[in-house]
Amino acid sequence: MSNPQNINSYRRKFMQGIGVTAAAATLAPGMLLREVQASNKEGYVTDKVRWGMLIDTNKLVEGGQEVVNACKKEHGWGAEAHSNERQKASWVRKVTVTEKTTGYVNQLPVMCQHCETAPCVDVCPTGASMKRADGIVLVNKHICIGCRYCMMACPYKARSFVHESLFDQHADSPRGKGTVESCTMCVHRVDEGKEPACVEASNGAIVFGDLNDPNSNISQKLKAEDGKQIRADLGLNTGVRYQGI
């Protein structure tokens, strides 16, 4: 598996070959992007923790729209937040699924599933797509060259590309024109000991916690009630699990 802290020789050669400096993303003036290894409360990120979310679709009052709304508000993406209607960022989307044989309709929010073996990380030629030790999958916008291989590799269609100039950015969640982005599991909040914004807005429908801790609320719920992975057949061991699907 790719080491998020090191760009291997193949990737270095690739970057040299295509002239990564010229292709570097355009960042909004004055915006400082989050360090690859952000610090948590204790001052470091450790693989003793693996952050995850368990989403009970039966408890979602708006079928996941509340998750989309909370994410847009927290991170400032989405056409509504900008006068430029062409901006089509999509960190999380509401998906409607109909069971053909019964007609049963279910709705769920789909965001980056924070895979243990993340295809986006494997295909990224520069190491910009990376997984932190605590399982959160991120894009390092400093070295993203906008090739969008990761968008093609993601089986959840969970990433989007910033085409347009950005304005009114949120200091805690900086974005970059010409880069790919996706759900960060609200890493800026997690590193401060808080829950992701969508979890707070979900009225208990989403449980956030440490999948490695057998005594955490999320682990206890998974043990007692189980939780499904979308496309479990891919063997990606996702950090996001669902109930009611």
Residues engaged in binding ligand SF4 (CB under 6 A): 67, 70-71, 74, 91-92, 111, 183-186, 196-198
E strand segments, 12-70: 26-27, 51-56
Compute the distance between CA of residue 163 and CA of residue 153 in angstroms, rounded to an integer. Answer: 19
Give whichever of 94 and 221 is closer to ligand SF4, judged by the CB atom.
Answer: 94
Using a CB cutoff of 8 Å and minimum separation of 24, what contacts does 143-149 make?
143/7, 143/15, 143/20, 144/25, 144/176, 144/178, 144/179, 144/180, 145/15, 145/18, 145/20, 145/23, 145/24, 145/25, 146/23, 146/25, 146/178, 146/179, 146/180, 148/180, 149/123, 149/124, 149/125
What tokens were used for 96? 């409607």
Query: Which one, 180 or 197, has the nearer CB to ligand SF4?
Result: 197
Measured CA to CA, the distance from residue 173 to residue 182 in angstroms comes to: 11
**Least distance CB 111 / ligand SF4 (angstroms):** 4
| Smallest separation (angstroms) from ligand SF4 to the CB of 71 | 3
User: CB of 42: closest distance to ligand SF4 in angstroms?
Assistant: 21
The residue among 87, 85, 77 whose CA lies nearest residue 111 is 77
Q: Write out the two tokens for 27.
A: 């960042």
Residue nearer to ligand SF4 on the CB measure, 7 or 111: 111
Question: Which DSSP letter does residue 228 get?
Answer: B
Q: What is the nearest approach in angstroms of ligand SF4 to the Cβ of residue 77?
A: 9
Q: Between 23 and 78, whose beta carbon lies closer to ligand SF4?
A: 78
Nearer to ligand SF4, 11 or 229 (CB): 229
Nearer to ligand SF4, 66 or 145 (CB): 66
- Give me the least distance between CB of 173 and ligand SF4, in Å please: 8
